[in-house]
Structure 1
Amino acid sequence: MTTITASERQELISSSLKARDLSYSPYSKFRVGAAILTKDKQIILGANVENASYGATICAERTAFVKAITEGHKQGTFLAVSISGDIDNHCSPCGICRQFMREFCSLDMPIYLPYSSWTKEKDIERTTVINTTLGTLLPMSFGPEDLDRERKS
């Protein structure tokens, strides 16, 4: 399992809450922010960006990963992700985002889902963040390695 320090975890969660403020969500009014921590300790932000043609909307998680990939980060270089929303509960990634993350991340990658009321001071209680992994959120997943499996003719 990937290990990050308590300080890195706090900075990542705080960054996802800041990313949420960058959301363009005039239709749903449901702001979501994502922050990715890379192996070289960069934090890359993403926010949901809606469109009047709802199908053209992109989630915060995919925004962050697209930015990371186009900035040169590749598969296996992601340490952890934090995803936050406006609700005072966890904001879990949708199915498409889970599958998108599966393309680039290990199944044991930590995913933090903070409540909107999370603060560094409250973090000591460890009650305002769900700590999970991609494998837990996407069990029995299909990934790039599955394309290399032997097939029957």
Structure 2
Amino acid sequence: MTTLKSKLHDDLTAAIKARDELRSSTLRLTLTAIAKEEVAGDAARELSDAEVEKIIAREAKKRREAAEAFAQGGRAEQAERERAEGELLADYLPKQLTDDELDGLVAEAVEEAKAGGAEGPRAMGAVMKIVNPKIAGRAEGGRVAAAVKRRLAG
């Protein structure tokens, strides 16, 4: 079984051979972030695919935020590159949920929380606890929280 990290390494090697500068530099930076995480803490360790996925998601989010900042600063070329890097990393993540899919999962979690006695705006924590494992990396936290707030307010 190939791990996500070894797939990144294989893709990096292929990108270098193909002289794909964007892909190779993006994967190199991501693998560096993974390596840093592996040696952080008391003992070096091998990360699980889920942990590697979280790092890739964090790196992709950084790229999206940077793209926005560059676009607002009138630096279209850098914004485009950051966007391209973010999209490249998104290919390694689980397919993101559509708004409808997300709303459906949130609605189920709200019902579940109600059954457990949690209702109204105060139920936010209970609903997030129920919905987060079901979403598992397929939607950004901010997006999930916004959907939960909408549902609880409605």
TM-score computed with the length of structure 2 as normaliser: 0.27
* Structure with the largest fraction of helix: 2
Q: TM-score, normalised by structure 1?
A: 0.27
Q: Tell me: higher relative CO, structure 1 or 2? Use CA pairs within 8 A at least 6 residues apart.
A: 1
From the two aligned structures, give the one with the greater strand fraction. 1
